[in-house]
Structure 1
Amino acid sequence: MGMFDFLKAKKNTASIAKDRLRIIIAQERSTLGGPDYLPLLRRELLEVIRKYVNVDVDAVKVDLVKEGEHDVLDISVSLPERGMTPS
């Protein structure tokens, strides 16, 4: 191990942190123009789905998509494999 190897480790950690920050910023930018009710709608949909199927928190995605003159609510639910029951 060289004398300055610890500097390389910090550089890798810094680049990882930078990439994570870019992802967070991109997510925030995508929700800035969206309606305020989308996070609440996502949370409520998750609660209803969990009554029937055991799904992860990230399983429900709710987005507002512009199609021509109309705003379309895009809801995506990732369901687990068959046979899983609600907890």
Structure 2
Amino acid sequence: MSFLSFLLGEKKKTASVAKERLQIILAHERNGRSASSDYLPQLQRELVAVISKYVSIKPEDIKVNLERTDNLEVLDIKIELPDAAR
């Protein structure tokens, strides 16, 4: 890290920002502050907004699901991309 970038700061990439947001949401959920999965629709909307910057998709192309069994939580995100984007 150069001294100049330390002073001015570095612009984070969209993927790393999205990853950090997911980590915060999961940490929040694990701490028991939110007993329900009310954040999932908002997470889905944010994913659509971010991915739409690069590929034309519809909200129904992204499925977000949280499954809980005993002490295990699985966040399942399925994104269907159009053929032209593959």
Give the corresponding residue for 1:7. none
The residue type equivalent to 2:62 in the other structure is V
The residue type equivalent to 2:78 in the other structure is S
The range that moved more, 65-74 or 52-61, is 65-74
1:1-87 equivalence runs, <5 A = 34-82=36-84
How far the C-alpha of 1:65 sits from its partner, in A, is 1.4
How far the C-alpha of 1:66 sits from its partner, in A, is 2.3
Give the secondary structure class of the aligned counterpart of 2:83. coil
Q: Which runs of 5+ in 2 are unaligned?
A: 1-34
Q: Do the aligned partners of 2:55 and 2:85 also contact (CA within 8 Å) in 1? A: no
So what's the TM-score if we normalise by structure 1? Answer: 0.52
How many residue pairs match? The answer is 52
Determine what percentage of the aligned residue pairs are the same residue. 42
Larger radius of gyration: 1
Q: Do the aligned partners of 1:34 and 1:64 also contact (CA within 8 Å) in 2? A: no
1:65 & 1:35 partners in 2: Cα distance? 10
RMSD of the alignment, in Å?
2.1
Identify which of structures 1 and 2 has the higher relative contact order when contacts are C-alpha pairs closer than 8 Å and 6+ apart.
1
1:56 & 1:64 partners in 2: Cα distance? 21
2:71 & 2:85 partners in 1: Cα distance? 42
4+ residue runs over 6 A deviation: none
